[in-house]
Structure formats: C-alpha cells, structure tokens
Structure 1
C-alpha cells in the first residue's frame, strides 16, 4: 500500500471517530440517554425508558383526572388546568421521550388542559434513589413538578403522611428549581416547610437529571449528581418523619395556582411541555 493510501485510510478513521463523537453529543443534546452506570451500591428495580410510541404504558402509569372538584377545586392550590386522561394532546410518548403538554383551550370545566401522570396502584417504593431526566416548560404560569405522595396515607391525610418534592419549578422564576419535604410538623400551610433551591441556568432548554436518595436517615436531593439539599430524620413522632412507608411517583404540569400563578399567567406561551427522557428507580442491593 502506498504512503498516499495509508494517509487516506488514516483520515477516514479520524473522520469516523469525529462523527461518532458528534453523534453522541447530539444524542445528549436531544436528551437521549447513553445509559449511565448504576449508582454505587444500588440496583435498578423499575424504569420507563419510553422506548415505544403513543400513550404512556398503562401497566406502569395511571392518571389523576379532572379539576379536583368538588373536594379540591384547583387541586387545593387554585390551579387553572383540567387534567385529562388518555389524551395524546396532553400526554404522549414520542421519539424516546414522554411529553406532558399543557395547553390553553376550553375543555370541560377549565380554560387550560394538562396531565398528571402517576404510578399509584401500579408501583410504590420505600427508600431508594429516584431519578428522572427531564427538560422543563418555559413561561409565566407554568408549574411543573416531579414529586411523591404516600400510597396508603398511613398517618392520615396531607400533610400528616408526608410529601416529597423531587423537583418543582415555577415559570416566573426562570432557571430555578426547588426541593421540599412536607410533614405535619414542617409544611407550607404553617410556613414551616423545609425547602432548598438551586439555580439551573438552562433548565428550560436542556435535560438534567433530578434525583433523590431516600434512606431511613435522610432524603438528599441532587441535580446531575450535584447534592444541594438534605432533610434529615429528626423523628420524635410521625409528625417530623412520616417517610417510612411506600410512596408513588407523580409527573405533572400545573397551570397558575397559588404559587405557579403568583405573577399571573402569560396567555401567549402555550402550549408548553415537560419532556422526560427516562424514569429510573434504584434500591440498595
């Protein structure tokens, strides 16, 4: 083989490597996972990689439906959306992603529609690492959340049995996310909730991994494996620490409400989407 031929083959090899790297970067930018390693001392026990098309897998997901009336009109927070079920306009799996869409449209009792997807009556967990890779909606009036509620409400209704907010975001505070634990002793109704916040400069434009690690001793919050919040078990009674029972996972976008609508709703921004690349639940080996 001539020296010129050898050089040509070397250049082809370099091009292939560069193209491969570019493909990996493009996958990352689109949010498509390159299957990160399992966290130390954990094993994967449940996941949805959204490697199918259409409505979410009904063996894994159920819905909250309606506007919360008559008991909790606005779901207790004066939210403005109607949560729809099995409606592709609001919930669909496409191109490897779960897409939850909030829309401005007249639908039944509301001026907006959205979806609240949950694993209730399908799967719940006590302790573990819960990780969701997502890109958030943009604009004033949006209120997306990745959170958990008790499966059985062992200690009574909210907030006695607890709530874990893995990620909350309100559109009037761009690029900022919140981590909160609610209990009977610590909750927003009394102004005693335990909340921490982190600025994520491109949360509405790029995918990030939102996670908690929940043990009998503490709940710890992470973004892209960076720890930024912790709620320690200071249990005297269930009022301080009800987090010893199974909780299910919830994904939703609310519209307006006491917090999400604190500065009003921008009616020029709709539709808005929360795009989820995967949901993965790990527990100790």
Structure 2
C-alpha cells in the first residue's frame, strides 16, 4: 500500500512538471542581432522556461558567471516566442561580444557560456550562428552547462539584492553589480566609451581659461591629461593676436559661435591653456550608483581636476547648474594656497559633492572636504561618490569624509522652483554621465580671497591677467597632468 502511494506521488510529480525535468535541459545557442540603434540577444522559448537572464560584455571575457556590462532578467517571452533583451548601445565593428545566459527551467537553473562573437564579421554579412559554428576556439556542443560547470558563481550575485540603479533607462538587476569599467589599457582611448570635447568654455560667469582639445594620452595602463600653454611655451606666443576656428571638429553644446571660434579684440583673448576633457555622454549614463576613480591629481598653481557627473539632459532648465553637477573629487592644485585669513585651501584639501549655483561664493555650500598632510597630487588615491535616493556620500581611499543630504529644493533660495516638481534628490534624480579632464583658472573655482591670485573673478580681463602672470605660476607645474588608473561604476 505504501509503495503504491509513493509511486502514485512520483507519477503525479512527473505529470505536473513534465518529463523534461528528469532530463538535462540544454540552453539553445544565443542569437545576436545588430539593430539600427543598438542590438538584441535572444533564445527561443521552450516549455518549462520560466525566466531568462542575459549577461553581456564588450571586449572583456568573463572570468566567472559574473554580472556583465549589460545585464537583465527577462520575465516573459516576446511576441515572436523568443526570450529577448535589447540595448540601445550601438556596437562598433571592432567589438568582440561575450555572453553568458541563465535560464530557470521549471525549478532548476542552468547557465551557459557562449563563444565570443566578432561584430566586424557580423557586419560583413555572416550570420551569428555561422560565425559561432566556424569559431575554432569553442565547441558548441560544450557551451551549455549547469551550475556544476567549472566556472565559479559569484555568491554576491547568485541571490542578489534588488538594485535601485538605472542605466540607459533600464533598472539594473543586482546591487553591487559592476556596470561600467575602463582600465585604460592599450595605446588609444576607447572611443566606444569616451568622446573628446573640442570646444571653448561658454563665456559664463565661471568659464575656465582653456581650450579643450584632443591631447589626452594612454600609456602603461594610465589615462594622462596634461595641460599646456598656448603656443607650447613659444616666447613669441601672444593670446591677443591670431584667431581660433575649430571648424567641423567642434563639439559645441549650446552656442557654436562662442564655443567654436574666437577672434581676439579688446578684452577678448585666445585661451591661455590647452588641455583635454572627455565624457561618456554618447555611451554610458546612469542614475543612482557608486562611481570609483583611482587617480593622481594635478600639481601646479591654478589648475584643478575634472572628475564629474554631468546631466545627460538639462531636465530642469538651461541655466548653468539648473540641472546640477556632481564632483567625485575636486582640488585646487596649488602647492601652497591660502586665503586672506590664513585658511589653507590648496592641494592638501579634497572636496566632493554638488554644484548648484553659478556664483563662486556659493560653490562650496553643497560640498564636503577633508585634508591631508601631503598634496593629493603626490600619489594615487581612490576617490568615490555614492549617489543614492537620499544623499551623496564621499570617500577617499575607502574612508568616508562627508555626506551631502538631498532636499536641495528647500535650500534653493528661490533659484530653481523646478526642483520642487522632482523627487527628494532633484535635480539629481535624472541620468548623469562621466566627465574627466583638467582645467585652469576661471571665474568660479578660485575665490578672490586667495593670496597672490593674479586675476579677479569679476574682471572682464581675467584671462589676460592670468596669462600675464604665467612666468610665476608656470614654474610650479611640476606634475600638471591628471593621471587616471581606472574608472568603475557599481549599482547600489
């Protein structure tokens, strides 16, 4: 009687879950399709499949079953009876795509590491399936694996906590997931991630005294952005003569007439310093997360680094800082810089937080700072900013030095009523992109109370005053470059 009951229960279990659960499910080959404005990966639906997760890397093989640069778990198949994930990121023809797939089939989970796919070959007309079959490095019969496969499953993500991070308008799957990384290996900037800004700063009340051009370098695993004088220290160089027209290279944001060309006359001069500024605006943006930058900051009078998060869209208005700016790390790079009352605000002090006002006297209201005995340009440090739905938290070398709480609309002093229509973190409740660079001088970041400052912020001849003092400050540029080891962004 007991044997009959057990047998009946077993047959009932088979009838409920299906005979496939007794057999080993095999994940089908992933299909990659190149779209006009992105790409799609998919597998066909089969009976018993309950959900599917895709993890995709560009140009970086997986070391384990770890989160990819693009990751998402799909809960329902599409209308074509396929489990599909789409990204708006356009692939480059020299990209190599790595994919692993996680499938829940009835109550069992299966994982499969797919062969790499060369996008150039796909663009030249070969089908993805043919490319995989012809790849001599992988045997497709061995690509389907269960959790018993030799690749490790990172326990931090196997049972992940739900994330609040948004990337390219999609919710990231797991808290702690690495969603962006560049280690600056190779000899050239990865243009699928970064773009140069080639422009003059707008002539606003805090414009820097620079021209942003394409003079960043990669060497020994470091990004190096080093500022130079106009004319590369030629003794006959004169910023009051000549003209500048960037032409088709110009990447003007708002006013091409002012950002792309300059003809010196009167108080208008050419930019005293040529430097570089790069960003991920075209490729990567996110809302809420933790950004980490390991860098050696510039060392020299009147320089400052740009380690920024900037708004993807000026959602709260076009006025400067109406949509906010976040500073992962900011430093006035002078070796010695004091105010009239003796306060040291030079390179031994690091700042981080938010900029929400144009005027220099309001610049530090939403920033926190800490100081060290040595200049922050003497060695590499790791700077991070954790951006949540309630605050901005700042760290250097994994030590927290301050928190900036949200509720900025309450402290806006009537300057941006638009923030009242947003969330508690407005204007920091939209997607932002990463900016890296070096700047010099300007009207906003060096207060007029600085001792020996050669220009005043309100002077129409500020850039010319700065240039005339170059024999004094240029000799202090012992290590003027920003050197970046890596940039990483994690979901929270």
Please give the TM-score of this superposition, normalised by the length of structure 1: 0.75
Q: In structure 1, which of residues 273, 276, 281 is the aligned counterpart of residue 481 of structure 2?
A: 273
Q: Contact conserved, 1:171 with 1:260, CA < 8 A, in 2?
A: no
The Cα offsets for residues 66-97 of structure 1, whole Å up to 9 and x where unpaired, read as 222xxx13x65242211102xxxx20111000
Q: Secondary structure at the match of 1:46?
A: strand
Q: 1: distance between equivalents of 2:285 and 2:205?
A: 23
Number of the residue aligned with 1:191: 362
Residue matched to 1:180: 353
1:260 Cα deviation from its structure 2 partner: 4.6
Distance 1:216 1:62 in 2: 29
- RMSD value over aligned CA atoms? 2.5
Distance of 2:347 and 2:361 partners within structure 1 = 26
**Structure 1 residue 63 corresponds to structure 2 residue 196:** yes
Q: How many residues align?
A: 236
Which residue number in structure 1 is paired with residue 310 of structure 2?
Answer: 149
Partner of residue 126 from structure 1, selected from 280, 283, 287? 287
Distance in structure 2 (CA, Å) of the matches to 1:241 and 1:254: 27
Alignment of 1:16-27 (within 5 A): none
User: Any stretches of 5+ residues in structure 2 without a counterpart?
Assistant: 1-155, 162-174, 233-243, 245-269, 335-345, 410-417, 455-469
Contact 2:353 2:392 (8 Å CA) reproduced: no
Q: Name the CA distance, whole Å, in 2 between partners of 1:45 and 1:58.
A: 18
Post-superposition offset of 1:217: 1.1
Q: What is the distance in 1 between the residues matched to 2:441 and 2:180?
A: 32
Alpha-carbon separation, structure 2, partners of 1:238 and 1:228: 27
Whether the aligned pair in 1 keeps the contact of 2:290 and 2:490 (CA below 8 Å) is: yes
SS in 2 for 1:238: helix
Render the CA deviation track for 1:220-256: whole Å, top value 9, x for unaligned: 0110111112111226562572111100111111111
Alignment match, 1:52: 186
1:28 equivalent in structure 2: none
In structure 2, how many angstroms separate the alpha carbons of the residues matched to 1:211 and 1:99? Answer: 19
Greater CA drift, 234-243 or 274-283: 234-243
Matched position secondary structure for 2:230:
strand
Distance in 1 separating the partners of 2:207 and 2:322? 21
Higher relative contact order (CA 8 A, sep 6+): 1
- Taking the aligned partners of 1:83 and 1:124, their CA distance within structure 2 comes to 22
How much does 1:177 deviate? Answer: 1.2
The equivalent of 2:130 in structure 1 is none
Aligned to 1:225, which of 376, 398, 416? 398
Q: Is the 8 A contact 2:368 2:404 kept in 1?
A: no
Matched position secondary structure for 2:362: coil
* Separation in 2, partners of 1:208, 1:113: 25
CA distance in 1, matches of 2:476, 2:375: 18
1 or 2, which has the higher strand percentage? 1
Corresponding residue for residue 254 of structure 1: 439
Structure with max Cα Rg: 2
Q: Deviations over 1:50-72 (max 9, x none)?
A: 11113x1110011222222xxx1
Residue 169 of structure 1: how far off its partner (Å): 0.9
The question of whether the paired residues in 2 share the 8 Å contact of 1:187 and 1:194 is answered with: no
Tell me, yes or no, if the aligned pair for 2:206 and 2:358 is still in contact at 8 Å.
no
Distance 1:137 1:260 in 2: 15
**Structure 1 segment 24-39 matched on structure 2, within 5 A:** none
The CA deviation at 1:118 is 0.8
Task: Name the TM-score, length of structure 2 as normaliser.
Answer: 0.45
Deviation at 1:189, TM superposition (A): 5.5
User: Aligned partners of 1:81 and 1:139: how far apart in 2?
Assistant: 15
Q: Cα offset for 1:181?
A: 1.1
Structure 1 unaligned residues grouped into runs of 5+: 1-37
- Asked if the contact 1:121–1:151 (Cα under 8 Å) also holds between the matched residues in 2, the reply is no
2:218 maps to 93
CA distance in 2, matches of 1:76, 1:276: 29
